[in-house]
């Protein structure tokens, strides 16, 4: 119904976009370049981290499509011990495993198997989803396997995909050598308000719609309720289109987004990923209350706030200051 109402030829916010609907922000473009270069070099594991629903797996899929001639294995992190982990890799690359053999024997056979594959098809790439769920012991095992090479040719390249907990794990002292082995660490950050505007406009335009149906106030509301996370943006933007169609509205405004968010049970993000530390916020607020909103104070505080959160809407922020003062 909402597609007809807004003259859309397809769902703009489908979770599995077509090539036409794919949106490549500067952040994504740079991430893809880094991932492709690191994969081609084969110099060490590649880590991709960021909030859930930001397109980490989408990026890994694009790298796999680009290097389709390579042997690419995809695993999802589960609760495995080190022996089971080795066995899951061995089976995924077509090696016969036997319960009776020791872990050491299995590792030796895996090395020989990977060596044979590398000579024929090049290095094997093993993508592991949800790697943040791994115990440090398994990450240590990955560090050991990543060292396998023959005459400088890496036998296995890991692509480790996970949420920010993975970055925290890699910062632990016992895993320092794994962190040092990385050929790339790609971090996905939530979209700021400008990127959300570009994303929504692109998706609507790709569906033969008019990007102007989403007012600026609606874009700001999308950021406030989604925190810039793509999965949440898709969910709320689609719900807003449906809500507007039900109300026979011709555009999406802030109130439309709020109404849709309320029905979805979504609340405003109180602490955005890029938000300034609480002490800095409190300091700026005290400064403005004591000194008033002089031109110097506004410029100084805007500079700090923009540096820590480029997505802040300064016009709305300044209006709030005047009300307080």
Instruction: List pLDDT tens digits, range 30-42.
Output: 888 999 998 888 8
Mode of pairing for the β-strands spanning 46-49 and 156-162: parallel
Q: Using CA atoms, how far apart are residues 158 and 39, in angstroms rounded to an integer? A: 9
What pLDDT score does 10 carry?
92
| Rounded CA separation 119/144 (Å) | 21
Q: How far is CA 108 from CA 99, 211, 272, 273, in A?
A: 15, 58, 48, 45
Task: Burial-class residue 291 by CB neighbours within 10 Å (0-12, 13-18, 19+).
Answer: exposed
Residues 63-82 have pLDDT tens digits of 888 888 788 888 887 778 88
pLDDT of residue 279 exceeding 60, the answer is: no
48: left (phi over 0), alpha (psi -120 to 50) or beta: beta
323 pLDDT tier (thresholds 50, 70, 90)? very low
Instruction: Give the confidence band of 61 by pLDDT, cuts at 50, 70, 90.
Output: confident
Instruction: Let me know: does 51 contact 71? Beta carbons within 8 Å.
Output: no
Q: Which residues contact 10 (CB under 8 A, 6 or more apart)?
A: 3, 18, 21, 206, 207, 208
Domains and CATH numbers, the chain: 26-187 (3.40.50.300), 191-264 (1.10.8), 278-324 (no CATH)
In this prediction, what percent of the chain has a pLDDT beyond 70? 83
- The answer on pLDDT for 299 being more than 70 is no
Provide the 10 A C-beta neighbour count for residue 262: 12
As a residue count, the chain comes to 325
Q: Residue 184's pLDDT is what? A: 93
Residue 84's pLDDT is: 86
Q: Give pLDDT, residue 321.
A: 37
Work out the pLDDT band at 270, boundaries 50, 70, 90.
low
DSSP state of 275: P
Query: Which of 40-54, 112-126, 253-267, 276-290 has the highest mean predicted lDDT (pLDDT)?
Result: 253-267
Q: For 129-151, what is the mean pLDDT?
A: 89
Q: What is the DSSP string of 90-132?
A: HHHTT----TTS-HHHHHHHHHHHHHHHHHHH--EEEEEETGG
Does the pTM surpass 0.85? The reply is: no
Q: Of 52-66, 102-116, 219-233, which range is least confident?
A: 52-66
Residue 244 backbone phi and psi in degrees, to 5: -65, -40
Mean per-residue pLDDT of the chain = 81
Tell me how far apart the alpha carbons of residues 131 and 163 are, in angstroms, rounded to a whole number.
8
For residue 259, what are the contacts with CB-CB under 8 A and spacing of at least 6? 243
pLDDT at 79: 78
Residue 177 has pLDDT above 80, yes or no: yes
């Amino acid at each position: 119904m909402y597609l007809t109402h807004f003259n859309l030829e397809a769902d703009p916010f489908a979770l599995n976009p077509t090539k036409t609907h794919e949106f490549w922000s500067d952040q994504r473009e740079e991430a893809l370049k880094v991932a492709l270069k690191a994969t081609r070099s084969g110099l060490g594991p590649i880590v991709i981290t960021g909030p859930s629903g930001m397109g980490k797996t989408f990026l890994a899929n694009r790298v796999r499509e680009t290097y389709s001639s390579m042997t690419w294995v995809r695993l999802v992190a589960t609760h495995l011990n080190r022996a089971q982990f080795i066995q899951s890799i061995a089976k995924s690359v077509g090696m016969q495993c036997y319960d009776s053999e020791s872990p050491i024997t299995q590792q030796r056979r895996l090395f020989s198997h990977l060596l044979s594959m590398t000579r024929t098809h090049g290095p094997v790439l093993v993508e592991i989803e949800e790697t943040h769920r791994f115990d440090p012991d398994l990450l240590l095992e990955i560090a050991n396997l990543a060292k396998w090479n023959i005459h400088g040719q890496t036998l296995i390249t890991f692509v480790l995909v996970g949420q920010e907990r993975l970055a925290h794990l890699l910062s632990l002292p016992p895993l320092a050598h794994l962190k040092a082995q990385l050929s790339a660490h790609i971090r996905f950050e939530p979209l700021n308000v400008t990127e959300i505007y570009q994303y929504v406009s692109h998706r609507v335009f790709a569906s033969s719609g008019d990007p102007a149906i989403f007012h600026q106030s609606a874009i700001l509301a999308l950021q406030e309720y989604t925190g810039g996370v793509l999965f949440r943006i898709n969910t709320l933007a689609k719900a807003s289109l449906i809500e507007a169609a039900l109300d026979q509205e011709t555009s999406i405004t802030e109130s439309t987004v709020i109404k849709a968010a309320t029905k979805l049970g979504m609340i405003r993000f109180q602490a955005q990923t890029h938000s300034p530390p609480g002490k800095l916020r409190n300091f700026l607020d005290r400064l403005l209350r004591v000194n008033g909103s002089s031109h110097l104070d506004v410029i100084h505080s805007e500079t700090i706030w923009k540096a820590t959160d480029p997505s802040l809407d300064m016009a709305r922020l300044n209006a709030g200051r005047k009300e307080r003062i």
